[in-house]
Structure 1
Amino acid sequence: MAAVLIADSGSTKCEWRLVKEGKSKKIFTTGISPYFLSGEQIQLLLQKELLPKIKDTIIDELFYYGTGLKDDANKKFLKSVLKKVFPATPVEVQTDLLGAARALSLNEKGVCCILGTGSNSCYYNGKKIIKNSPGIGYVLGDEGSGAYLGKKVIQYFLYNTFDEELMHAFNKKYNTNADEIITNVYTKPQPNRYLASFALFLAENRGHYMIENIIEDSLNDFFFTHLSKYTESWLYPIHFTGSISFGFKDVLKTLCSSYEMEMGAVLKEPMDGLVKYHSM
């Protein structure tokens, strides 16, 4: 029976699934990004964190989906590293966006969206990505993402827009101030993740009209800026994956209805869909 290894990697965490004889085993390692790690560092990471957990298993196929792979040079680089670790195994390296599309839409046509720390979307024809609304990062874009939502929360706090109830709830949860926030956003590493951490405040305070407005307005910005640019959005289902997608799927459903689009699958993470795709 063939053993298939599938990876879905961000820059901080990578989930692996070893699929064999109809069963799948979860393995987690440190995330892999070709922008932050050298080939030697990636090799060492895999030898230390992955190989001991799959020892005595011959891997027949390896499918790797990850961050930082839009650039073909990065794809080739990562494939060469994986081939050093798995020299006898056929290896396929693809973007996290194609991974999301395969997980969500399998072999069917659809518009596939990632709403996590960042945001992205594409039209997928059942085999490959045909159109991609350009991601321009958390400073200029990432509409509908955790960073985008979190930025709105911070703005409401710093501009004193929240009412007394929400100001009290925010101060109790975060115990922070303007100086600390500005330092984290403008001088410390990974400000997008810092911003995204404030999206949890929205999930914990659902029902308040200000909270609902932030969620709906932010997700509507994603629909207006990205999904409305695809003519296919009115022809095929709209699928979503990522923590924001999963946490606010009720709002996504309402927006799909208001835009007269068909709501498709919603997955918190793509891995279960990828296992299904590669088991077909």
Structure 2
Amino acid sequence: MAILIADSGSTKCEWCVVDKGKIKKTIFTLGISPYFLNQEQIEELVRRDLYSQINRFSIDAIFYYGTGCKSIENQRLIKKAIKRVFPDAEIKVEIDLMGAARAVCGNQKGIACILGTGSNSCYFNGKKIVKNSPGLGYVLGDEGSGAYLGKKVIQYYLYQTFDEELKYRFEQKFKMNEVEILDRVYKHPLPNRFLAGFALFLAENRGHFMVENIIEDGLNDFFFTHVCKYNESWKLPIHFVGGVAFGFRDVVLDLCSAYELEAGAILQHPMQGLITYHSS
């Protein structure tokens, strides 16, 4: 019995064909967000970029975890799109936060956090998400995320807060002026992905005090705004999933210590944890 597990953020989606607990095929496609793509566009992406590479496998069940899937309406939209490509498979669609919780907590209680292109968090009781500090997206929230940190980088550059050294490094790396940056943010699709791309500048310039301030302040905003809202945070381990959490795990661990929290797992990707969960 082969199953297909999907973990989709706003930027990319990882698909794994799994049979008897072993990975048979891994495919990466663009991320699927029901806020930016309609049913036809999702179906086209799945058919073109995924199905063509795994059609030799007989898929019995699909477990899809994705951004934007908190609402029943968005879950149905994605399920319908995937069902048109895999008509014989049983399909279950859940929010990416559930995938993160199952990946790091398994069947145990814990606080599960996502720090990737976007951010989110929850208290997971071992079976379901009991509490969820609202994720308001990259415009109103997403504290600590790649988009949030990338926005700070752009602000520092355009407000001329960067010193000459960082300004020079920024211009050498991105080669974009103010008009081009604002055009990409306000007139082009998927601005959250564009913003998150600037977080790489932080990773490449660690050690500079302005860079460290942006990272520490951005991640602290996530801890203060979300993690600290759960009473359970001081009783259970705090787990993290996502490229930002993994890339800046030293800062994440320092903040856990500062808030007197127990740090749990810090994973770049939840897939291996999901494979273990569904295989058991």
Report the TM-score, using the length of structure 1 for normalisation.
0.92
Aligned match of 1:69: 69
Structure 2: tracts of 5 or more residues without a match: none
Taking the aligned partners of 2:8 and 2:279, their CA distance within structure 1 comes to 20
Taking the aligned partners of 1:52 and 1:179, their CA distance within structure 2 comes to 40
Taking the aligned partners of 1:45 and 1:159, their CA distance within structure 2 comes to 38
Determine helix, strand or coil for the equivalent of 1:273: helix
Residue identity in the other structure for 1:33 = S
Structure 1 residue 37, shift from structure 2 partner: 4.0
Taking the aligned partners of 1:139 and 1:44, their CA distance within structure 2 comes to 28
Taking the aligned partners of 2:44 and 2:211, their CA distance within structure 1 comes to 45
Aligned match of 2:33: 33
Aligned match of 1:17: 16
Residue 135 (1) aligns with residue 135 (2): yes
CA 1:261–1:88 in structure 2 vs 1: closer, same or farther (change >3 Å)?
A: same
Structure 1 residue 174, shift from structure 2 partner: 2.0
Asked whether the 8 Å contact 2:150–2:197 carries over to 1, the reply is yes
Q: How does 1:232-271 map to 2 (within 5 A)?
A: 232-271=232-271
Q: Deviations over 1:112-164 (max 9, x none)?
A: 11111111111111111111111122222211011111121122222222222
Name whichever of 78-87 and 88-97 sits farther off: 78-87
Structure 1 residue 38, shift from structure 2 partner: 4.2
Residue identity in the other structure for 1:120 = N
Structure 1 residue 167, shift from structure 2 partner: 1.9
Structure 1 residue 177, shift from structure 2 partner: 2.5
Taking the aligned partners of 1:12 and 1:195, their CA distance within structure 2 comes to 11
Taking the aligned partners of 1:12 and 1:212, their CA distance within structure 2 comes to 24
Aligned match of 2:144: 144
Structure 1 residue 11, shift from structure 2 partner: 4.5
Total equivalences in the alignment: 279
Residue identity in the other structure for 2:170 = F
Structure 1: tracts of 5 or more residues without a match: none
CA 1:261–1:55 in structure 2 vs 1: closer, same or farther (change >3 Å)?
A: same
Structure 1 residue 225, shift from structure 2 partner: 0.7
Aligned match of 1:189: 189
Taking the aligned partners of 2:132 and 2:100, their CA distance within structure 1 comes to 13
Report the TM-score, using the length of structure 2 for normalisation.
0.92
Residue 219 (1) aligns with residue 219 (2): yes
Give the root-mean-square deviation of aligned CA atoms: 1.9
Residue identity in the other structure for 1:164 = E
Q: Deviations over 1:236-278 (max 9, x none)?
A: 1111111111110000000000000011111111111111111
Residue identity in the other structure for 1:205 = N
Taking the aligned partners of 1:143 and 1:38, their CA distance within structure 2 comes to 26
Taking the aligned partners of 2:10 and 2:178, their CA distance within structure 1 comes to 28
Between the aligned residues of both structures, percent identity stands at 64
Structure 1 residue 36, shift from structure 2 partner: 4.1
